[in-house]
Chains A and B, each alone.
Chain A
Amino acid sequence: MATTSQTGGQRTRNVISGRNRKGAGRQLHGGRITHAVLILFTAGSLFPLVWTAVAASRNNTRLAQTPPPFWFGGNLFKNLEIAWTDANMGTALLNTTIVAGAIAAGTVLFSTLAGFAFAKLRFRFKNLLLLLVIGTMMVPPQLSVVPLYMLIAELSWTDQLQSVILPTLVSAFGVFFMRQYLTGALPTELIEAARVDGASSWRVVWHVVFPAARPAMAVLGILTFVMAWNDFFWPIIALTQNGSPTVQVALTGLGRGYIPDQSVIMAGALLGTLPLLLAFVIFGRHIVGGIMQGAVKG
């Protein structure tokens, strides 16, 4: 689709030979200035991350001197080790992996099922329910923390991982995202054909819906994982530094003076960010695609 329209555009443009032909459209190559500005912006985006590693490889004394260090020192592994054991970052990383993994899996599964129902099936109150989902998509989390806290206090769930997994296990955005995707990507005839062959609803889901939804499921999974990994407000309330913290809770403990050594704090920040940065290096293309896709449809 995209290529045909592009070549079509090119053809028209070749026919038109106006004076401002060069100024048209997005076929333009970026000039030197474009590249320079982008490189500068990219450098600004990456600098704080690189400097986190620089600071993590120094020691506290060196960080209290001017000018600040610009290049790596020799203390990286020592600091990482202290952060890992003393600041509870080891436990925190494991906890966060469990939490973010469970939330991503739950969100993808439940959103796909509900998104499929909203996209392709007929049932009563469908539009009303969909409206309810969309309407609460933008409600801030602050609006529910107090009752949630009362709930987990009542169940004695404070400082247990289910207290952060269960409340975030489904997302209205996920349902909306999957619905938008499946409306276009899953041909209704395919479902009907499966039905004619006598497939039950669950078989339709397993053999038709899941394969068709796979690209969107992957994108939603990655995005949800990133969001769950970085979730801050609720974990701060539900978990504590010394119990079973997530990475963000442990980092907050560090920031509030749990360990006064700045280079160790930076080592902790590095540890907490590294897994996601790795994921960005590996899946970057898909994450970018997912965000851009969601933007056009949302």
Chain B
Amino acid sequence: MASSDATAVPEAGVGDTTGVGDTAPAGPRERQEKRQRGRERPAPRGEERDDRRRERRSRWYRRDVRWSPYAFIAPFFVFFLAFGLFPLLYTGWASLHRVELTAPTDMEWVGLRNFSRLISDDFFWNALRNTVTIGILSTVPQLLIALGIAHLLNYRLRGSMFFRVAVLTPYATSVAAATLVFVLLFGRDYGMINWVLGLAGIDPVDWQNGAWTSQLAVSTIVIWRWTGYNALIYLAAMQAIPDDLYESAALDGASRWQQFLHVTVPSLRPTILFTCVVSTIGATQLFGEPLLFNGGAGATGGADHQFQTLGLYLYEQGWVNLHLGRASAIAWTMFLILLIIGAVNWIIARRLRKSA
């Protein structure tokens, strides 16, 4: 097989590949011409059978080049449409129906009632508020610390690879494992954190039952898991900053701190924006930490719903109270919030670019 490939192709194949070749930068019309030229070229001496075989081969070849891209993207798009795009749109459809978990195929049209129920539900507004506060409490310190750590990691260090891997280990820890440990560490009576606070003369804090304290604790878990990851992303961007920027700043007499402020941070602007967007999306979806921080008490997010996030509220409506239609409405509301945040981010980015 392989040898016949090698002998048969050079005559028929060459004109063909350069002509129809997917990668050649020729325009469609040009390709058409080339193809025709290839056809008109008088067949080299040979038997008729050879000719026909060559013709068949080149036809097969054209077809291969033309259709193989679709074959390559097909597996991805089949799964993507079935499990990505279709559910996304169908959620919108389901949000306009009454659907119960007990009979998911029984759908009753209710228009926008799921949404109006949502707006009049105090727990929705509570969850929205909590999501915003926990989002700020976790994202802002996380990114600031990450920026500082990245700056330090950017120095020439002994064991720099050790530090990089070590700061990433929390990322390897799952939400569940991390939260279970932190529940113990934040324990009111026997927790390590209260014990340390006790050494400093501070009374034990009831982390779980206070509104602010529980949100702080949940945020701590998020910060712990993601700071190292973000630090590495900043580090990568810092290493791409050209040295001469620092050199000219140094020539101008800028101190290290000024260099950080006036060279590093402005160069990192796109990366900072990127991490802001990703962290915001993550914060909007926060689910596992507040679910498990509540121990065995279910999806309420604390006795007074004090740390119930939108993600948790969605889960409670759908899989505890069995209202799938309402859960869909929450999902679309979350999406809307994300779009608004995205738009705000984009506007800020454009402003920054203009001012730069």
Given contacts A48-B182, A150-B324, A292-B232, contact A121 B195 (CB under 8 A): no
Q: Is B216 an interface residue (CB 8 A)?
A: no
Which residues of B in the span 321-355 have a Cβ within 8 Å of any Cβ on A?
Answer: 324, 327-328, 330-332, 334-335, 338, 342
Q: Which residues of A contact B330 (CB under 8 A)?
A: 142
CB-CB under 8 A from B65, the residues of chain A are 195, 201
Residue pair B6, A140 in contact (C-beta under 8 Å): no
Within 8 A of B (CB), among A265-298: 265-266, 268-270, 272-273, 276-277, 279-281, 284-285, 287-288, 291-293, 295-296, 298
CB distance from A298 to the nearest CB of B (A): 7
List residues 304-326 of chain B with CB under 8 A from any CB of chain A: 311, 314-315, 318-319, 324
CA–CA, A15 and B105, complex, Å: 76
A118 at interface by CB-CB < 8 Å: yes
- Bound Cα distance from A124 to B174, whole angstroms: 41
Interface size on A, residues (CB 8 A): 128
Which residues of the other chain, B, contact A251 by a CB distance below 8 angstroms?
174, 176-177, 180
CB under 8 Å from chain A, chain B span 47-76? 61, 64-65, 68-73, 75-76
Interface: B116 (CB within 8 A): no
Q: What's the minimum C-beta distance from B292 to chain A, rounded to whole angstroms?
A: 5
Q: Say whether B140 faces chain A, with CB atoms less than 8 Å apart.
A: no
Q: Interface centre among B84, B255, B292, by most A CB within 10 Å?
A: B84
Q: How far is the CA of A193 from the CA of B328 in the complex (A)?
A: 52
Interface centre among B9, B77, B177, B287 (most CB of A within 10 A): B177
CA distance A6 to B246 in the complex (A): 13
Chain B residue at minimum C-beta to C-beta distance from A168: B83
What residues of chain A lie closer than 8 Å to B287, measured between beta carbons? 142, 232-233
- Cβ contact of B168, chosen from A141, A144, A288, cutoff 8 A: A288
Q: Could you tell me if A269 and B177 are in contact, using CB atoms closer than 8 angstroms? A: yes
Say whether, besides A114-B72, A296-B240, A288 and B164 are in contact (CB < 8 Å): yes
Q: Is the CB of B243 within 8 A of A25?
A: yes
The digit string for B1-38, where 1 denotes a CB below 8 A from any CB of A, is: 00001101110011001100111100000000000000
Interface of chain A, helix or strand or loop or mixed? helix
B73 contacts A118, CB within 8 Å? yes
Q: Is A18 an interface residue (CB 8 A)?
A: yes
B109 at the interface (CB under 8 A from A): no
Cβ of B291 and Cβ of A170 under 8 Å apart? no
Interface flags, A36-49, vs B, CB<8A=1, else 0: 01100110111011
Contact residue range for chain B? 35 or more
**A1 and B311 alpha carbons, distance in the complex (Å):** 46
Assembled-state Cα–Cα distance A296/B296 (Å)? 42
A55 to B181, CA, bound (A): 9
Shortest C-beta distance, A184 to chain B (Å), equals 15
Contact of A45 among B184, B224, B324, B334 (CB under 8 A): B224
A149 to B68, CA, bound (A): 34
When chains A and B are docked, how far (Å) is the Cα of A165 from the Cα of B176? 19
The docked-state distance in angstroms from the alpha carbon of A4 to that of B232 is 24
Measured in the bound complex, the distance between the Cα atoms of B22 and A122 in whole Å is: 5
State which of A73-81, A210-218, A254-262 sits at the interface with chain B: A254-262
Contact B168 A291 (CB under 8 A): yes
Which residue in B145, B182, B238, B292 is a CB contact (below 8 Å) of A26? B238
Complex-state Cα separation, A120 to B23, whole angstroms: 6
Structural contact, B79 and A28, CB atoms closer than 8 A:
no
Provide the residues of chain A in CB contact with B85, threshold 8 Å.
132, 136
B138 at the binding interface (Cβ < 8 Å): no
> Do B250 and A64 touch (CB < 8 A)?
no
**CA–CA, A233 and B314, complex, Å:** 11
B268 CB to nearest A CB, Å: 11
Q: Which residues of A contact B256 (CB under 8 A)?
A: 23
* A121-B72, A201-B64 known, 17 other contacts, Cβ within 8 Å: A5-B243, A18-B250, A26-B154, A68-B192, A114-B75, A133-B80, A140-B334, A143-B334, A144-B87, A146-B99, A201-B72, A230-B173, A255-B292, A255-B295, A265-B180, A266-B184, A295-B232
6 CB contacts below 8 A, A to B, read A42-B166, A45-B169, A65-B190, A121-B23, A236-B291, A284-B165
Using a CB–CB distance below 8 Å, which chain A residues touch chain B? 5-6, 9, 12-13, 16, 18-21, 23-31, 34-35, 37-38, 41-42, 44-46, 48-49, 51-52, 55, 63-68, 109-111, 113-114, 116-118, 120-123, 126, 129, 132-133, 136, 138-151, 153-154, 166-170, 172, 175, 188, 191-192, 195-198, 200-202, 205, 226, 229-230, 232-233, 236-237, 247-248, 251-252, 254-257, 262, 265-266, 268-270, 272-273, 276-277, 279-281, 284-285, 287-288, 291-293, 295-296, 298
Which residues of B approach A to under 8 Å, CB–CB? Answer: 5-6, 8-10, 13-14, 17-18, 21-24, 61, 64-65, 68-73, 75-77, 79-80, 83-88, 90-91, 94, 99, 101, 104-105, 145, 149, 152-158, 161, 163-185, 189-192, 195, 198, 224, 227-229, 232-233, 235-241, 243-244, 246-247, 249-251, 253-256, 259, 271, 274, 277-278, 281, 284-285, 287-288, 291-292, 295-296, 298, 311, 314-315, 318-319, 324, 327-328, 330-332, 334-335, 338, 342
